[in-house]
């Protein structure tokens, strides 16, 4: 859904005649700022993944999958709480953050699942709880459908996957000509205004959070990769896949989510056996950033159930 935000930024730029060339930032600069310990870089299927693997190695593993346009840093507060009881693995998905562009040029859901399985193999994790947000939620539930033996519990935070205006089954969305300006221009004030839409309370987006999002967008190759991902991903009608999910499933949704409305939860509950829904009044799309301590308690309670 972040793709809609970026498209809006590009449209406003061109419509208003504002051309502000914004080059990528250097990888060395960004890694110095955002890849301090416990960050590490692990090569999986040709991707140099930016990974954080924290918490006790003998504890149950939880893998966190971020959404479109984001990075592993979106989980910072949740990870700090989770790692007291769990082994917590999070990474910048290929095409985003400090992982950057995928050398294969592929950004399909299948490629994302292959990378996830490969990372689990590399880290020696046979089975894990999988938590996914938005786009990461779609990858999480597809992984749970295709690799049921590798998923203990499944948590979906405002996941996408059902058709909506502009996103049809079996057809990748058209990338508007104006959107192709993204690799060259990224006005901060427009990006900030768009990002605020992800919060029920826009004041929850601090200057530090905004700066991080912008810097991750300016990582080398990321903006081109975003366009490639948009051009490649065609939604698959999800009912048959969702029916295959066996893992206990929790849906977490902000009642003020303006990107993936909470009404979509009914689609998942209809086809995922036993799926629970936890609603968060007053919150938007980014639960783990808006009120992290409140929302992580709900997550930990679910993961701790027998």
Phi, psi of 127 (to 5 degrees): -150, 140
Higher pLDDT, 121 or 179: 121
Other CB atoms within a 10 A radius of the CB of residue 230 amount to 20
pLDDT at 166: 72
Number of residues that this document lists for the chain: 306
Q: 135-139, 188-192, 252-256, 290-294: which has the minimum mean pLDDT?
A: 188-192
Q: In what order do the strands lie in the sheet with 151-157?
A: 39-44, 47-54, 87-91, 61-65, 128-133, 151-157, 249-254, 276-280
Q: Compute CA 117 distance to the chain's CA centroid, rounded to the nearest angstrom.
A: 17
Which pLDDT belongs to residue 4?
46
Give the mean pLDDT of 283-296. Answer: 97
pLDDT tens-digit series, residues 56-75: 999 999 999 999 999 999 99
pTM, 2 dp: 0.93
| pLDDT (mean) for 162-168 | 82
174 vs 80: which has the higher pLDDT: 80
Nearest Cα neighbor of 108 from 3, 228, 7 is 228
The pLDDT of residue 45:
98
130 or 9: which carries more pLDDT confidence? 130
| Upstream peptide bond of 158 is cis (omega within 30 degrees of 0) | no
Q: Which residues of 40-77 are buried (b: 16+ CB within 10 A; e: fewer)?
A: eebebbebbbbbbbbbeeeebbbbbbbbbbbbbbbbee
pLDDT for the residue 157: 98
Domain ranges of the chain: 2-304
Q: How confident is the model at residue 6 (pLDDT cuts 50, 70, 90)?
A: low
Question: CA angle at residue 121 from 115 to 127, to 5 degrees?
Answer: 100
**Least confident piece of the model among 174-178, 198-202, 240-244:** 174-178
Look at residue 248 and give its three-state secondary structure.
coil
Q: Which CATH architecture has domain 2-304?
A: 3-Layer(aba) Sandwich (3.40)
What pLDDT is recorded for position 17? 44
pLDDT band at 251 (very low <50, low <70, confident <90, very high): very high
Cα–Cα distances in Å, from 125 out to 70, 76, 112, 149, 169? 24, 21, 17, 12, 33
């Amino acid at each position: 859904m972040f793709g809609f935000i970026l498209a809006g930024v590009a449209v406003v730029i061109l419509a208003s005649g504002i051309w502000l060339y914004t080059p990528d930032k250097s990888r060395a600069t960004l890694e110095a700022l955002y890849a301090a310990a416990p960050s590490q870089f692990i090569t999986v299927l040709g991707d140099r993944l930016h990974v954080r693997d924290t918490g006790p190695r003998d504890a149950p593993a939880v893998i966190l999958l971020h959404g479109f346009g984001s990075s592993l840093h979106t989980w910072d507060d949740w990870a700090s709480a989770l790692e007291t009881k769990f082994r917590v693995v999070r990474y910048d998905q290929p095409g985003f953050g400090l992982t950057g562009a995928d050398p294969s040029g592929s950004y399909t859901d299948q490629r994302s699942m292959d990378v996830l399985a490969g990372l689990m193999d590399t880290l020696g994790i046979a089975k894990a709880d999988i938590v996914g947000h938005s786009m990461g939620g779609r990858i999480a539930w597809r992984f749970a459908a295709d690799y049921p033996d590798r998923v203990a519990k499944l948590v979906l935070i405002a996941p996408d996957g059902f058709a909506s205006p502009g996103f049809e089954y079996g057809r990748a969305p058209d990338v508007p000509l104006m959107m192709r300006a993204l690799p060259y221009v990224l006005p901060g004030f427009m990006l900030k205004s768009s990002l605020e839409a992800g919060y029920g309370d826009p004041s929850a987006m601090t200057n530090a959070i905004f700066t991080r999002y912008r810097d991750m967008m300016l990582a080398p190759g990321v903006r081109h990769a975003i366009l490639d991902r948009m051009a490649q991903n065609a939604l698959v009608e999800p009912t048959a896949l969702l029916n295959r999910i066996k893992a206990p499933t929790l849906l977490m949704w902000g009642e003020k989510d303006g990107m993936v409305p909470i009404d979509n939860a009914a689609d998942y509950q209809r086809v995922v056996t036993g799926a629970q829904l936890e609603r968060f009044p007053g919150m938007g799309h980014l639960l783990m950033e808006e009120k992290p301590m409140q929302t992580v308690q709900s997550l930990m309670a679910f993961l701790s159930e027998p």
